Amino acid sequence: MPGTIASFQGVTKRYGPIVAVDHLNLDIREGEFVTLLGPSGCGKSTTLRMLGGFELPQEGRILLAGKDVTHLPPNRRDVNMVFQDYALFPHMSVRDNVAFGPQLKGRTKDEARARVDELLAFLQLSDFGDRRPDQLSGGQRQRVALARALAPDPKLLLLDEPLGALDAKLRGQVQIELKSIQERTGKTFLLVTHDQEEALTMSDRIIVMNGGRIEQEGTPEDLYHRPRSRFVADFIGETNLLTCDVQRDGAAGPRISWNGTPILVEAPQADAIADRSRVDVTLRPESIRLTAERPDAANALRTRIVRRTFKGARLDVDLEVEGGQAAASHIKASTDPALLQGNVGDAVWASFDPKRVAILQA
């Protein structure tokens, strides 16, 4: 198990009456790609900036490689930051921009040049060394910013929405590139983003923040398939949030039903609902199978197609569930376009695996 490289211990940051970060406890391990994810204003950037030394917390301690750095200025911490606007020097060449870091750290000119050549080659920028930043594409500028941040060989790289300025298609490419650079350098990356897809694509571990606190943390798979709160279920990916009734059933334990239809759930937290009368569950649209005939499945709902939205690789289908005690209710399914014959108004069976239903605790 790799060691802890950075720790937040009971860290609180207030701006006047606003609590930006609220008693944060977080350990980051060496070589990890960790992402702080959450909506605007949840405290992600403040957390990153405190680790970089740009903000001072009112409470708690920040450790880097076991050393208390809470009160150290940025240039005395072994971390470097990549900003959204890249903060490149516009009048300087790519080479001089990248050389800025090593020179600062007191290397000789020859050492700095060798390090710059190595980084430009590593980031496929060797042909662009003499250009100025405004003579580069967005993706190339992003790589220059990364090369500059990596130049002094910091232990930890902090990235504040580093892909924010790129268009959607390029973002996708650069996400994969950035993850591969992190893997090849073995460096620890701490990234801030509000983009859940970006977080899922790149991270070893995602920290979901809400109101200055950690809402949930885990691997991308954990958070996607086992969200613990409505907030996380809703923030990461699309989902169906169903409020269910809980019935006691003697020795068989609690059973849940949605809209009068029993729902079979196989989840580790199923026992935790024993004392409740209602519980929220989440079911991802792509976990729902649509068939014309009644399927041989533990959970099957008879529905009617309300809307079909073609998305290229998939088809999003809005369904109205028939029967039940309450008024008709809606669920969303997402399927391979080739698998759905039905049109709007047609009846269709929606079935799902009990393992695909996650019980929310909050």
| Radius of gyration of the CA atoms of the chain, in A | 25
- Tell me the HSE value of 37 on the side-chain side, using a 13 A CA sphere: 29
Instruction: Tell me which stretch binds ligand ADP (CB under 6 A): 15-23, 103-111, 253-261, 332-340.
Output: 15-23
Q: Is 4 exposed, middle or buried (0-12, 13-18, 19+ CB in 10 A)?
A: middle
The answer to whether 343 contacts ligand ADP (rule: CB under 6 A) is no
Which C-beta is closer to ligand ADP: that of 38 or that of 162?
Answer: 38
Residue with tokens 């990153």: 48
Which C-beta is closer to ligand ADP: that of 38 or that of 154?
Answer: 38
Q: Pick from 5, 6, 11, 20: which binds ligand ADP (CB under 6 A)? A: 20
Which C-beta is closer to ligand ADP: that of 24 or that of 42?
Answer: 42
Which C-beta is closer to ligand ADP: that of 172 or that of 211?
Answer: 211
Q: Pick from 37, 43, 187, 348: which binds ligand ADP (CB under 6 A)? A: 43
Closest distance of CB 209 from ligand ADP, Å:
7
The answer to whether 150 contacts ligand ADP (rule: CB under 6 A) is no
Closest distance of CB 115 from ligand ADP, Å:
32
The answer to whether 42 contacts ligand ADP (rule: CB under 6 A) is yes
Q: Is 203 exposed, middle or buried (0-12, 13-18, 19+ CB in 10 A)?
A: buried
Restricting to residues 240-269, name those near ligand ADP by CB under 6 A: none
Which of 310, 313, 304, 312 is closest to 342 using CA atoms?
304
Phi, then psi, of 289 in degrees rounded to 5: -100, 135
Both structure tokens of 184: 């090849």
Which C-beta is closer to ligand ADP: that of 111 or that of 197?
Answer: 197
Instruction: Tell me which stretch binds ligand ADP (CB under 6 A): 34-42, 116-124, 246-254, 312-320.
Output: 34-42
Closest distance of CB 40 from ligand ADP, Å:
4
The answer to whether 154 contacts ligand ADP (rule: CB under 6 A) is no
Instruction: Tell me which stretch binds ligand ADP (CB under 6 A): 14-22, 86-94, 115-123, 317-325.
Output: 14-22
**Number of C-beta neighbours around residue 225 at 10 A:** 17
The answer to whether 60 contacts ligand ADP (rule: CB under 6 A) is no
Which C-beta is closer to ligand ADP: that of 56 or that of 272?
Answer: 56
Q: Are residues 290 and 333 in contact, defined by beta-carbon separation less than 8 angstroms?
A: yes
Q: Pick from 8, 44, 64, 352: which binds ligand ADP (CB under 6 A)? A: 44
Instruction: Tell me which stretch binds ligand ADP (CB under 6 A): 39-47, 95-103, 126-134, 264-272.
Output: 39-47
The answer to whether 46 contacts ligand ADP (rule: CB under 6 A) is yes
The answer to whether 40 contacts ligand ADP (rule: CB under 6 A) is yes
Q: Pick from 15, 90, 221, 325: which binds ligand ADP (CB under 6 A)? A: 15
Q: Are residues 227 and 236 in contact, defined by beta-carbon separation less than 8 angstroms?
A: yes
Buried/exposed 230-266: b ≥16 CB within 10 Å, e otherwise: bbbbebbbebbebebbbeeeeeeebbbebbebebebe
Which of 169, 175, 96 is closest to 128 using CA atoms?
96
Instruction: Tell me which stretch binds ligand ADP (CB under 6 A): 2-10, 12-20, 130-138, 350-358.
Output: 12-20
Both structure tokens of 154: 């910091």
Count of residues near ligand ADP by CB under 6 A: 11
List Cβ neighbours of 251 (8 Å cut-off, separation of 6 or more): none
Q: Are residues 305 and 345 in contact, defined by beta-carbon separation less than 8 angstroms?
A: yes
Closest distance of CB 56 from ligand ADP, Å:
12
Q: Are residues 318 and 305 in contact, defined by beta-carbon separation less than 8 angstroms?
A: yes
Residue with tokens 């309300």: 306
Name the residues that contact ligand ADP, by CB under 6 A. Answer: 15, 18, 20, 38, 40-46
